[in-house]
């Protein structure tokens, strides 16, 4: 069961197990990995209990005694604040840094007091530059569109740049006045209203290319048909437009043998994809929102900038049944954190009623990332079967005819039963 690591974090002893290491940005997974988890606030408590049982059952079913996760609780959010008077204790960060791959429930963003979103802090501290959101349909989930099964995409959203970099200046401040003077002196003929606030949108070649690299590598390793660069380059040429150009450049320089641009595909191959090649294409963001509704099956992996990705991933999730079952991950070169995409829904906390699907499917995504695809497939199959049996939590039951409403814990029971 791995070595004994004689250490404590937040006063808790590290369980017996082994560390996940990283080679060229990819995890090397031992048979008994130590995986830190943050239970999450509010509904996180119910969801974590249910999800952990599903994860352990899937791993046991897939690998018997050979593999097992050594779960290790680390604290963040309200639980950390109650116990240690800190929202994000240093010990929790050190544990995540040491063990590399973690999973978390939703965290309360403390309002006021200048405290930053804990999720944003984690992304920045560990340079988790790729927000990965797979969006697929599970048969039977109520959806607002006619053919939700046609959408099956994985969205890679750049996580560290763009208007999310936090460089903002409020209207009327001396800083914004200074900035306006500088901009007007260098941007010929441009005028900015003096009562403007200003936000800065940095998009770098480094940030864009490492994100697109991950998206292309993912597409190659999973045998996907295309990677679409989503941008607003028709308007923002040196940020969004540059993202597109750097994306194409990267594909050509690093993946020439495995990729072909859409332009070349039509110029040189009459639109027929040469065998073994992935098509690299690009779409303007507003068009992409239409395309995922009107021609969803023409898209597979999407790579995009931070703001576009934020909107697009929730819009796509809504199309296949909503945030309650949308998984997510934030991935860097030496760390990855898998997480629920919804919040803490405090009014349902500790009532054992909420849908644990988002964390359960985030765990399935984590196992896929770790190379434990048998566990991933078991979870996906059993989750899909449970929905088709119409055994669901309140949020889905209220939208389905003839469904049986079950508690969070009972939903997990049914998934586990369906693994058999
Ligand atoms: P929320 O917690 O996501 O909840 C909003 C509504 O979404 C719920 O009332 C519920 O709708 C539905 N919902 C959310 N999760 C669900 C699930 N697992 N199953 C079924 N329905 C679900 O959003 P919020 O109320 O805006 O935010 C509450 C707190 O969460 C805030 O402190 C916010 O900062 C934080 N937050 C954290 C994260 C994160 O940690 N990743 C993300 C977003 C927000 P119905 O009442 O209609 O059933």
pLDDT of residue 76: 95
User: Does position 165 have pLDDT exceeding 90, yes or no?
Assistant: no
- Please report which confidence band the pLDDT of residue 213 belongs to, taking 50, 70 and 90 as the band edges: very high
Mean pLDDT of the 45-54 span: 97
CATH at 117: 3.40.718.10
* Whole-number percent of the chain with pLDDT over 90: 91
The residue nearest atom 27 of ligand 1, judged by CA position, is 343
Same domain, 149 and 173: no
Substitution site in 344, 349, 352, 387 for ligand 1 pocket (most atoms within 8 Å of beta carbon) = 344
CA–centroid distance, 344 to ligand 1, in Å, is 5
Question: Into how many domains does the chain fold?
Answer: 3
Which residues pair with residue 35 across a beta bridge? Answer: 71
Number of residues assigned to the chain: 420
- Please report which confidence band the pLDDT of residue 322 belongs to, taking 50, 70 and 90 as the band edges: confident
Residue 53, domain member (yes or no): yes
Instruction: Please write the tens of the pLDDT for every residue from 27-44.
Output: 999 999 999 999 999 999
Instruction: Please write the tens of the pLDDT for every residue from 375-408.
Output: 999 999 999 999 999 999 999 999 999 999 999 9
Mean pLDDT of the 159-176 span: 93
Average pLDDT, the chain: 95
- Please report which confidence band the pLDDT of residue 115 belongs to, taking 50, 70 and 90 as the band edges: low
**Under 8 Å between Cβ of 361 and 324:** no
**Under 8 Å between Cβ of 306 and 163:** yes
Instruction: Please write the tens of the pLDDT for every residue from 214-245.
Output: 999 999 999 999 999 999 999 999 999 999 99
User: Does position 112 have pLDDT exceeding 70, yes or no?
Assistant: no
**Cβ–ligand 1 contact at 395 (below 6 Å):** yes
- Please report which confidence band the pLDDT of residue 321 belongs to, taking 50, 70 and 90 as the band edges: confident
Residue 286, domain member (yes or no): yes
Domain's final residue, options 289, 320, 351: 320
Mean pLDDT of the 252-276 span: 96
Closest ligand 1 atom, CA of 354?
19
Q: What angle do CA 419, 60, 50 make, to 5 degrees?
A: 65
Instruction: Please write the tens of the pLDDT for every residue from 294-303.
Output: 999 999 999 9
159 vs 274: CA distance, rounded Å: 33
**Cβ–ligand 1 contact at 408 (below 6 Å):** no
Domain's final residue, options 320, 341, 374: 320
| Number of other residues whose CB lies within 10 A of the CB of residue 346 | 12
User: Does position 4 have pLDDT exceeding 80, yes or no?
Assistant: no
Same domain, 209 and 288: yes
Residue 163, domain member (yes or no): no
**Under 8 Å between Cβ of 37 and 48:** yes
| Number of other residues whose CB lies within 10 A of the CB of residue 279 | 22
Same domain, 276 and 334: no
Same domain, 366 and 291: no
DSSP secondary-structure letter at 277?
Answer: P
CA–centroid distance, 139 to ligand 1, in Å, is 24
Which residue in 123, 76, 42 sits closest to 310, CA to CA?
123
pLDDT of residue 113: 60
pLDDT of residue 124: 87
Closest ligand 1 atom, CA of 117?
34
- Supply the range of the domain harboring residue 218: 143-158+205-320
| Number of other residues whose CB lies within 10 A of the CB of residue 267 | 10
- Please report which confidence band the pLDDT of residue 334 belongs to, taking 50, 70 and 90 as the band edges: very high
User: Does position 358 have pLDDT exceeding 70, yes or no?
Assistant: yes
Instruction: Please write the tens of the pLDDT for every residue from 279-295.
Output: 999 999 999 999 999 99
Same domain, 43 and 147: no
Same domain, 310 and 335: no
pLDDT of residue 276: 93
Same domain, 314 and 340: no
160 vs 24: CA distance, rounded Å: 20
**Under 8 Å between Cβ of 268 and 126:** no
169 vs 185: CA distance, rounded Å: 18
Same domain, 316 and 218: yes
141 vs 152: CA distance, rounded Å: 14
CA–centroid distance, 341 to ligand 1, in Å, is 9
Same domain, 26 and 48: yes
Same domain, 267 and 294: yes
Residue with tokens 């998009």: 203
Residues involved in catalysis: 164, 232, 286, 310
**Cβ–ligand 1 contact at 343 (below 6 Å):** yes
**Cβ–ligand 1 contact at 317 (below 6 Å):** no
Residue 147, domain member (yes or no): yes
Which residue in 73, 168, 77 sits closest to 122, CA to CA?
77
**Cβ–ligand 1 contact at 313 (below 6 Å):** no
pLDDT of residue 233: 97
Which residue in 356, 354, 373, 357 sits closest to 365, CA to CA?
373
DSSP string, 103-129: EE-------STTPPPHHHHHHHHTT--
CA–centroid distance, 150 to ligand 1, in Å, is 27
Q: What is the CA radius of gyration of the chain?
A: 22
Same domain, 76 and 190: no
**Cβ–ligand 1 contact at 44 (below 6 Å):** no
CA–centroid distance, 277 to ligand 1, in Å, is 40
**Under 8 Å between Cβ of 285 and 243:** no
**Cβ–ligand 1 contact at 308 (below 6 Å):** no
CA–centroid distance, 317 to ligand 1, in Å, is 14
Same domain, 218 and 300: yes
DSSP string, 119-164: HHHHHHHTT--EEEEEE---TT---SSS-GGG--EEEEEE-SSGGG
**Cβ–ligand 1 contact at 414 (below 6 Å):** no
Find how far residue 233's CA is from the centre of its chain: 24
- Please report which confidence band the pLDDT of residue 147 belongs to, taking 50, 70 and 90 as the band edges: very high
Residue 39, domain member (yes or no): yes
Residue with tokens 């969004």: 240
φ, ψ dihedrals at 259, nearest 5°: -130, 160
């Amino acid at each position: 069961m791995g070595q004994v690591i004689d250490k404590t974090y937040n006063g808790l002893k590290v369980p017996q197990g082994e560390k996940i290491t990283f080679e060229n940005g990819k995890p090397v997974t031992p048979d008994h990995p130590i995986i830190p988890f943050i239970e999450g606030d509010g509904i996180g408590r119910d969801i974590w209990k249910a999800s952990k049982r599903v994860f352990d059952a899937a791993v046991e079913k897939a690998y018997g005694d050979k593999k097992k996760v050594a779960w290790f609780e680390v604290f963040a959010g309200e639980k950390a604040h109650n116990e240690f008077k800190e929202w994000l204790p240093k010990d929790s960060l050190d544990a995540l840094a040491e063990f590399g791959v973690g999973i978390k429930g939703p965290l309360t963003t403390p309002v006021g007091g200048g405290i930053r979103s804990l999720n944003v802090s984690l992304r920045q501290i560990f340079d988790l530059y790729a927000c990965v959101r797979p969006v697929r349909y599970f048969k039977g989930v109520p959806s607002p569109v006619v053919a939700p099964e046609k959408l099956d995409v994985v969205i890679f959203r750049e996580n560290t740049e763009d208007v999310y970099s936090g460089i903002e200046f409020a209207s009327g401040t001396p800083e914004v006045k200074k900035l306006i003077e500088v901009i007007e002196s260098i941007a010929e003929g441009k005028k900015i209203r003096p009562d403007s606030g200003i936000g800065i949108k940095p998009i770098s070649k480094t940030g864009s290319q490492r994100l697109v690299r991950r998206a292309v590598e993912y597409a190659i390793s999973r045998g996907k048909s295309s990677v679409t660069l989503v941008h607003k380059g028709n308007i923002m040429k040196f940020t969004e437009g540059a993202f597109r150009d750097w994306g194409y450049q990267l594909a050509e320089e690093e993946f020439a043998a495995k990729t072909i641009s859409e332009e070349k595909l039509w110029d040189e191959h009459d639109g027929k994809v040469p065998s073994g090649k992935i098509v690299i294409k690009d779409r303007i963001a507003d068009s992409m929102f239409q395309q995922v509704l009107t021609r969803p099956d023409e898209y597979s992996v999407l790579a995009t900038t931070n703001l576009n990705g934020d909107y697009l991933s929730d819009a796509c999730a809504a199309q296949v049944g909503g945030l309650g079952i949308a998984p997510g991950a934030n991935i860097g070169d030496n760390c990855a954190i898998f997480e629920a995409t919804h919040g803490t829904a405090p009014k349902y906390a500790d009532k054992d009623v909420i849908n644990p699907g988002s964390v359960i499917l985030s765990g399935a995504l984590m196992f896929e990332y770790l190379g434990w695809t048998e566990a991933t497939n078991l979870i996906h199959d059993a989750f899909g079967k449970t929905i088709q049996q119409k055994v669901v939590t309140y949020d889905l039951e209220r939208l389905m005819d003839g469904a049986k409403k079950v508690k969070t814990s009972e939903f997990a029971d049914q998934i586990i039963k369906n693994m058999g």
